[in-house]
Amino acid sequence: MVQNKILLVEDNEDDVELVELALSSGLIANQLDVVRDGAEALDYLRCEGNFENRNSKEMPALILLDLNLPKVNGLEVLKEIRSNEKTCLIPVTIFTSSDQEKDIVESYKLGANSYIQKPVDFQKFKEAIQQLGFYWLIFNKKPIN
């Protein structure tokens, strides 16, 4: 099920682990691809660099994007995703610790589908990740082509 793949763009190992934990305790087992910075995320989506051999037809069903990323930051990655014909329809959820108004507004302006601040309480963190999975991977209807 190619469509059920989630791409997590996150530089912090701890956060990657927490997301994995949150997902694994849920009912749906999704395949999670993780990239560590913005540049790598773009390589992944364009099937370039380390991801040269990736099937370019297999696009993730959801991208979880952190904003504070090394090299190319989250907003730039989002802009790139939306401007590329192949990736412009992929749902993108900003998943970050910032709740700055300007980050939220900028994200939506660039075409983010939702914005979630990482909850400090792990119970809520878990719920957020699981609900995101349910919503975007199961309930949400996507264009076939």
Partner 1 sequence: MNSIRKEWKSFRIVIIYIIIGALWIVFSDKVLGYFVSDSKTILKLQTIKGWFYVLSTGILLYYLIFRQLGKLEKANLRLKESEVRWASYVKNAPNIITVINTDLKIKYTNRINEVSTLDMFIGKDINNFIASESLLSALNAIKRTLSDGSINFYENLFIDDNNERWFTNKVGPVVIDNKIDSLIIISSDITEQKRIKEKLEVERELQSAIFDSIEEGIVVCDENGVLNRFNEATRRFHGLPEKPIPAEEWSQHYNLFFANGINPMKKEDVPLYRALKEGKVSNIEFVVKPVNGEHLSFVSSGKKLINKTGDCIGAMATMHNVTEQKKAENEIRDLYSKLEQKVKRRTEELEIKNKKITESQQALAFLLEDMNESSEQLRKTNEKLETANKEMEAFSYSVSHDLRAPLTRMAGFSSIISELYKDKLDEKGIHYLNRIIASSHKMEQLINDILSLSRISRQEIVKSEVDISVISEEIINKYQKAEPERITDIKIEESIKIFCDPKLITILLENILSNAWKFTSKNKKAIIEIGKAIINNTNVIFIKDNGVGFDVKYSDKVFLPFQRLHTESEFAGTGIGMATVKRIVRKHNAQINVESKIGRGTTFYLTFTNK
Q: Does residue number 53 form part of the binding site for partner 1 (CB under 8 A)?
A: no
Q: Does 12 bind partner 1 (CB under 8 A)?
A: yes
Q: Whole-number minimum distance, CB 122 to partner 1, in Å?
A: 3
Binding of partner 1 by 118 (CB under 8 A): yes
Choose between 11 and 33: whose C-beta lies nearer to partner 1: 11
Candidate residues 52, 122, 140, 142; the one interacting with partner 1 per rule CB under 8 A: 122
The C-alpha atoms of residue 51 and residue 17 are separated, in whole angstroms, by: 22
Determine, following the binding rule CB under 8 A, whether residue 24 of this chain makes contact with partner 1.
no
Torsion of CA 133, 138, 141, 145, to 10 degrees: 90
Least distance in angstroms from the C-beta of 126 to partner 1 = 8
How many angstroms separate the CA atoms of 4 and 14, rounded? 23
- Minimal distance, residue 74 CB to partner 1, in Å: 11
Residue 27 in the binding site for partner 1 (CB under 8 A): no
| Distance (Å, whole) CA 87 – CA 72 | 17
The answer to whether residue 21 forms part of the interface with partner 1 (CB under 8 A) is yes
Which residue ranges make up the site for partner 1 (CB under 8 A)? Answer: 12, 14-15, 18, 21, 68, 96-101, 118-123, 125
